[in-house]
Structure formats: C-alpha cells, structure tokens
Chain A
C-alpha cells in the first residue's frame, strides 16, 4: 500500500530565510504524482506545487521548489525568502494516475518568525 510520511511535525524559520520540509513515500509504482498543499488557519487546502514522477526536472513555483529524488522516494519542499504568510500546515500528497484518492501525510506545521 502507498504511504506518505512527513517526519517533521513542526518547523520554524525566520522571515526572509529558507526552509525545507521533508516528505518520503512508499510505492511500487513508477508513474505517479506528488503534491504539496498548504493549509493556513482558514483550513482551506491550497495547492502549492505538483510534480510528475516521469519528469526528472524539479518543479518550481516562484519561491517554492521541490527536490524530487525518485530512487530515494523523497519529495522535499523548499521555501525561499520565507514570508509571514507562509505560516501554515503543509501536507505532502501522492496520487496514482486515474486513481481518485490523494494519499496525504500527517503534515508539518511551519511557523515563520519576523
């Protein structure tokens, strides 16, 4: 069965600094999709970034980038130039093609200090 593990329950970073959130997953499939979602205090899940497993190039969205290591089954999120608005729960998620279920990790709470 596929599982997603986020080993850091909480992380903190100072404003303008860089932080990396870790995610590992377990799968026997070769084709799949990985996501990072942000859940601010409003609790709406907001897509941050998405990675297709068949792409070797790491996805980037403005200040957010991933380090996708397929062999190691690792998918970390790097937030550069952290802002106060980045404070939230961050969830890593996995999905197979044509599957309906997103499998989520337990989340990492990110605090940003001024």
Chain B
C-alpha cells in the first residue's frame, strides 16, 4: 500500500531564515504531487503541484518554491521566511489521471517568529 511521509512534523523558525520541508511517497511510481497550505481556521490552498521530476507548477506567487529532485520526493523551500508563511503545510499525492483522489500526508506545522 501507498504511504506518504512529511518531515519535520513541527518547525519554529525566525523571520528571514531559510526553509526546507520534505515529502516522500512510498508504494507508487510517477505520482502527481501537491503542496497545500492551511492557515488557521481555514481550508486548504494549493501552492504547487508536480506531474513529474523537475516539473513544477505554481498556483500562488509568493516567496516559496518547490522542487522535485526524485520521482517520489517533493520539497518546499524558502530563502527567507516571512511571518505570513506560518501555517500548516500538507503534501498530497495522486495517481496520474483525470479522476484520481488526492491523499494527504500528516502535515508540517510551521511557526515563523
């Protein structure tokens, strides 16, 4: 069966520091991968998605970036964090296709101080 991992689970970072969040998927090949952010008390907002290695699409312009160095690895980064980057970051995967459900990882709670 497929599993999705995210780390770290919790992160506290000062403003202006860099960020790297990692997501890996096991048990499947060539998945679609997604990064979502959930602000406190709100639904999820798609940040980036990837349909293959090195292929990244951005939904929301911001100071975050994403990379996919390996088939089942998806990384969310920032060179300089802002206070507004605080939130809960969720990675998701789906099988490639038109009708596929997205399955979510356990998430990373990021607090920027």
Contact = CB atoms under 8 A, between A and B. Distances in A.
Interface of A: 4, 33, 35, 37, 42-47, 50, 52, 91, 95, 97-98, 100-102, 104-107
Nearest to B102: A102
A102 B92 CA distance: 11
Contacts of A95: 102
Interface stretch (B16-24, B43-51, B61-69, B70-78): B43-51
Nearest to A4: B43
Contacts of B105: 44
B43 A44 contact: no
Judged by DSSP, the binding face of B is strand
A44 B44 contact: no
Contacts of A107: 41-43
Nearest to B4: A44
Nearest to B106: A44
Interface residues of B, number: 27
A33 B106 CA distance: 23
Contacts of A43: 38, 88, 106-107, 109
Interface in B6-58: 32, 34, 36, 38, 41-46, 49, 51, 57
B16 to A, nearest CB: 26
Nearest to A47: B101
Contact of B44 (A42, A45, A50, A52): A45
Given A44-B107, A45-B90, A100 B101 contact: no
B43 A105 contact: yes
A100 B49 contact: yes
Contacts of A104: 43-45
B101 A35 contact: yes
B99 A52 contact: yes
B101 A101 contact: no
A97 B32 contact: no
Interface-centre pick from A37, A42, A102, A106 (highest chain B CB count, 10 A): A102
B49 to A, nearest CB: 4
